[in-house]
Chain A
Amino acid sequence: MSTSIPQEGIKATDPLRPEPATVLEVITETANIRTLRLAFDDPALAESFSFLPGQIGQLSILGAGESTFALSSAPSRKGSFDFSVMRTGVVTSAIHELAAGDRVAVRAPMGCAFPTDDWKGRNIVLVSGGIGMAPLRSLLFYLLDHRDDYEDLTLVYGARTPDDLCFAQDRRDWEARTDLDFVATIDTTCSGWDGCVGLVPSVVEEKAPSPDNAVAVTCGPPIMIRYALQSLDKMGFREEQVYTTLERRMKCGIGLCGRCNLGPKYVCTDGPVFSLAELRELPDEL
């Protein structure tokens, strides 16, 4: 996959220096996931900033540190962008303390986007769980913005309980659409939920989207991905048809610090989007 050399928001002349940005809004998605809506302080940059779905960015709270997140908003929305963040460590805990008006800094976009041009005219099946929905949300917005370029769109999005599902407002919109087959599912029955119940991989198998002329994209907790890939394989999806995004500990995000490599490839620049066929060529170091 070719590396897209990023544009605005990350200086080619000083790629380790982030751009000051401000938190516009904080949306609490779940008990441990928040979405931050951000805008660059430089008005020209705020306007011109653009990215493609699948790309990532580095969000800094100067003093706490910097972490990598998928850009989770619609690429077509100008003036601001979203990171959806799960609280797991020092930096993400600091991020979860942020409120509107707080100052942060961002280096974005980085990494490879989903090859949406290659997917034109095909059926797209999105399979995600928990926070894994973040990059797929961006992708789904993109696909919906270019709806005529794609055939059937299917989304299976699951979490442990209804309270662990993100993007409540977006889910309502997606449910209402007739040009998207959307199923939200939770692991076990729960009072107050009358929707689908079942683990994401089983729900996908039940739905049984055809592998003909199709592409599957999966993102979520490692164990969900493992079983989802097994299901997709059982359903006849070949390795070139299945895509995922990888996570690694990252620092520079630009292929220099040597940390996030999978063999000779760097997850930050050659990924984070990889097809299964590409992963097969790389050493097994997941």
Chain B
Amino acid sequence: MSDWALNLRAGMARAYARTVGATREPSWVVFDVLLPLLGVAAYIYYYRALGADPAFEGFVVLGGAMTAFWLNVLWGMAAQLYWEREVGNLQLFMVAPMSRMALLAGMALGGLFTSAVRALSTLVLGVLIFQVHMSVADPLALAAVFSLTMLAVYGMGMVLSSLFLMYGRDAWNISNLMQEPVYLVSGFYFPVRELGLGVSALATLIPVTLGLDAMRQLLFGAASQGLLPVWLEASMLALQAAAFFLLARFSLDRMEQRGRREGRLTLRWQ
């Protein structure tokens, strides 16, 4: 079997385990579909209480939908190799003759299933319940920006995953740290431009900032107060995606070698 075919099978197998696992334990539907909508609703009512323009409610729905992917990158990807090590699966993955990137790609693909269900339900229910108005003037551009965002964000997840391979409970804590602080600096619930040029520029290092800003511009037009032109944000996302995948490949190799030398690949309960 060629390397490509083997890696493809490995990736699909990992995605299968995650997808089937989710369907066998269906309680996630409640936690990932209905409950997140409550948080989104709270932000919408908060804006209403402040007397904000209705476009801001749309920003909340979009941001709320995108949290699904960000959380999946953090917990289902970045911290996953750490978790696999804790439950004893990592050593099995390491002895299998497949690429680690294929394994992570499979995780991403499987994770995208539950994340997409959560994101779509947030979008649809948010729009229906709160009468949020979005206009998709250029669906191709929106699909392209979304795809590039996913590639860049999951690429970032792969890099973090390799780093977290070396960590103990730090991995869990860093993932925690990358939730609300990233929602804040990446402008999940408001135009990132409002944070000022310096903070916004720094925040563009996190791909979800650029993706969200571009999608807001494509869905809400001038009300979105975009940071950069959409074409430029899309180009930056493409560059980030490529850079993160290359970095992930390099970093995974390095961390695996280091892990083998230092005996960390089987170390548990650090």
Q: Do A and B bind each other?
A: no
Residues of B within 8 A of A (CB): none
Residues of A within 8 A of B (CB): none
